[in-house]
Amino acid sequence: MKILVINGSPKGKASNTYKLTCAFLEGMKLEAEEEKDIVQVEEIQVNQLELKPCRGCFACWNKTPGKCCIQDDMQEVIAKILWTDIVIWSFPLYYYTVPGGLKTLIDRQLPMELPFMAEREDGVGSGSHPSRYDMSGKRTVLISTCGFYTAEGNYDGIYSLFDHMCGKNQYTSIFCGQGELFRVPEVSARTGEYLEYVRRAGWEYAKGGISEKVWDGLNRLLYPKELFERMADASWGISKEDGTKESDALIFTRQMAALYRKESYPGRERVLEMYYTDIDERYQIVLGKEGSRVLADGFETFTTRIETPVTLWRSIGAGEIRGDEALMKQLYKVKGDFDLMLKWDECFGSGKSDRNDGKNHGYDTGYDIDDRKEKKTNMMNFLAPWIIFWTAVPFDGYMGAFFSLAACALLPLLFYHNKKTIYDLLSGACTAAFALALIKGAPVRAVVPLSYSAFALLWLFSCFLKIPLSAHYSMNEYGGVGALKNPLFIRTNWILTLLWGILYLVTAVCTYGIMGTNAAYLTGVINMALPAGMGIFTLWFQKWYPAFVAAGM
């Protein structure tokens, strides 16, 4: 397969559109690799060509048929067009058509045509010229970005041009609005998703045709109109009031504010203060019901204040550094209400979210190209075998053991839709082993405290591993598996897991004592008091501790 890319952006390889084209090519190459096809790619960067405009002399039709009288790079371009199987025209939309340089290249294709008048069968225009060469079997792809929020309604000129050039429906076109976002690192999560669709489109195109699902992803707006226009306006760095240049940090703060999602409004106005420590500048973003506004003076009382070097915050925004990691290393500080930090994605959803908890944290991009939905863990899956065992066995050791065994067999049915952890499996196995020991005649007073110890050891043992036990379950509330990369989340869970382990070791000792009294049958119920208290502590601690660290204490 021979592919020719003609990049018509005056920006050359720095073009937004070229990013899409590269993704499309990657997809095509991947398919060829899978099919063990050989792919040859040639690229023409129009901005690097020496290309003079057509003189309109028709010498290529009458004096020197097929040869242009201008000696420049066009001869080589024509040779490549004749060589290739697929031409990918990559260009930005300029004044609703192709940029000038590319239009020159298109005009200079005249030597490829014969001068005779011919009828068209596809009803486009009023006639055509036959091709001098056999162009049958060659395919055409158009890839373009434009500056408005949508491509819709802006490409009439392009459709008209290529309908005439290639024939109606004889080419494949990927047109994308909001093109300038492809150079903004802060929104790379969303543009990255889009590029993934383009990559898939290339792969499917090479296979034979782009599926409806991929078209659907390609035709979806990068961002809603209103949000994009806010971001675009903020990106110019010019004051809307008087047209003067604004400071880089203020522009950056405005862009951040533009990403605010008013759907995340929690019923009270919040004031996020950004204090850029390296340049000693302060701005506030008021997050309200109807949207956000930026204050450069006339400040209000902040609810959350972030003290950070602007360079660091930019790197975090661009995804070069993880915000939680930087916080853990105390590279920036957070004062006031920490809840905003925990809900950052919901508040400033900049695109794709790696969360998989069913809530819409970022913009709903509908991105799920592979239909992979990650299942969630469920702590009840881990706890239920123990709760049943500890409640049933003290009432009646023998019957309780049978009951526990039956429960262990049935629980997987109840939690079939959840992702299993190693601790879920160990819980089932341990309680089943303890129940069998009881059936075999082991004394209840020994087995029950032992079971509490085993449970405690599961918690304590996990403190020596990379991910402490509670993190496997609480990650669902903190961004899914992505939270496991957050050192602050891991450290919070490590402390909690250690405390839960100690609590159950103490419980094991108490249990031995209680089981020697008349209230032995109530052991399971009595032992619920301590964990209930610890549960309340856990809820408080998992919010308090990250805020404590963030405040730089």
Ligand X SMILES: Cc1cc2nc3c(=O)[nH]c(=O)nc-3n(C[C@H](O)[C@H](O)[C@H](O)COP(=O)(O)O)c2cc1C
Interface with ligand X by CB under 6 A: which residues? 9, 11, 15-18, 92-96, 145-148, 154, 179-180
Residue whose CB is less far from ligand X, 96 or 398:
96
CA–CA gap between residue 347 and residue 510 (Å, rounded): 46
CB of 182 to ligand X, least distance (A): 7
Q: Which is nearer to ligand X, 144 or 303 (CB)?
A: 144
C-beta of 188: minimal distance to ligand X in Å?
15
Kindly give, in sequence order, each residue whose CB lies less than 8 Å from that of residue 374, ignoring residues fewer than 6 positions away: 356, 419, 480, 481
What single-letter DSSP state applies at residue 211? Answer: -
Nearer to ligand X, 11 or 213 (CB): 11
In the complex with ligand X, which residue's Cβ is closer, 230 or 355?
A: 230
Closest distance of CB 422 from ligand X, Å: 49
Q: Which amino acid is at 417?
A: H
CB-nearest residue to ligand X: 179
CB closer to ligand X, 44 vs 306: 44
Nearest to 176 by CA among 142, 144, 141, 214: 144
Instruction: Output the smallest distance, CB 152 to ligand X, in A.
Output: 10
- The DSSP line for 252-313 is HHHHHHHT--GGG--SS-EEEEEEETTTTEEEEEEE-SS-EEEESSS----SEEEEE-HHHH
Query: From the CB of 153, what's the least distance to ligand X, in Å?
Result: 10
Q: Which is nearer to ligand X, 154 or 470 (CB)?
A: 154
Query: Taking the complex as a whole, how short is the minimal distance between the CB of residue 244 and ligand X, in angstroms?
Result: 23
User: Among residues 156, 172, 144, which one has the least CA distance to residue 87?
Assistant: 172
Residue 154 CB, nearest distance to ligand X (Å)? 5
Secondary structure of 87-143 in HEC code, one letter for each residue: EEEEEECECCECCHHHHHHHHCCHHHECCCCECCCCCCCCCECCECCCCCCCEEEEE
Nearer to ligand X, 8 or 202 (CB): 8
How far is the C-alpha of 301 from the C-alpha of 358, rounded, in Å? 34
The pair of three-digit structure tokens given for residue 323, joined into one six-digit string: 């915000």
What token pair was written down for 423?
């601790």
